[in-house]
Amino acid sequence: MKKILVSLGLAVIMLCGVVLPGFSGGEVYAADDICNDSAIAADLKKAAGCSDFGADKPTAVPIALNIINVVLSFVGLIAVGVIIYGGILYVTSTGDSAKIHKAKNCILYGVVGLVVAIMAFAIVAFINTSVLKKS
């Protein structure tokens, strides 16, 4: 019974965190209202998408960066899975030297894969922020 009450309490707290910020009492604008309101700063209008839509045509670069980030995330997950698999092999090797060698190699290759994925992610983030962003 205690577990059910704790679970329900946590669910209510999370729901309040999601729902209550919408009731902040501030003004809520539709996109057309923001674009037509002269009291709104130009930066906010640009962030809301009020600028000339023909001037900022989307390019393939953001799409490619998103795809690369998703692929690198999957590579990182696979590397962590390989490390976990190697750990399970090591624990269940029961002293067999061939199984221990296989487990150590599995862990080593998993760590190398994880380091490569993290470095590739860092390189993509660096290129995205330093090279492709216009000041």
Question: Domain count of the chain?
Answer: 2
Length reported for the chain: 135
Same domain, residue pair 49 and 110:
no
For the chain, what is the mean pLDDT? 75
Q: What's residue 69's pLDDT?
A: 87
Domain membership of residue 17 (yes or no) is no
What is the model's pTM? 0.54
Spell out the residues 6+ positions from residue 99 whose beta carbon is closer than 8 angstroms to its own. Answer: 89, 92, 93
Same domain for 68 and 53: no
Residues 20-64 have pLDDT tens digits of: 444 444 455 455 565 666 666 666 666 666 655 444 556 777 788
Q: Which domain holds residue 64?
A: 59-135
DSSP letter assigned to residue 40? S
- Cβ contacts of residue 106 below 8 Å, gap of 6+? 82, 83, 85, 86, 89
DSSP for 85-113, please give it: HHHHHHHT-TT-HHHHHHHHHHHHHHHHH
Q: Are residues 48 and 91 in the same domain?
A: no
Under 8 Å between Cβ of 127 and 85: no
Judge if 37 and 53 occupy the same domain: yes
107 and 88 Cβ atoms separated by less than 8 Å: no
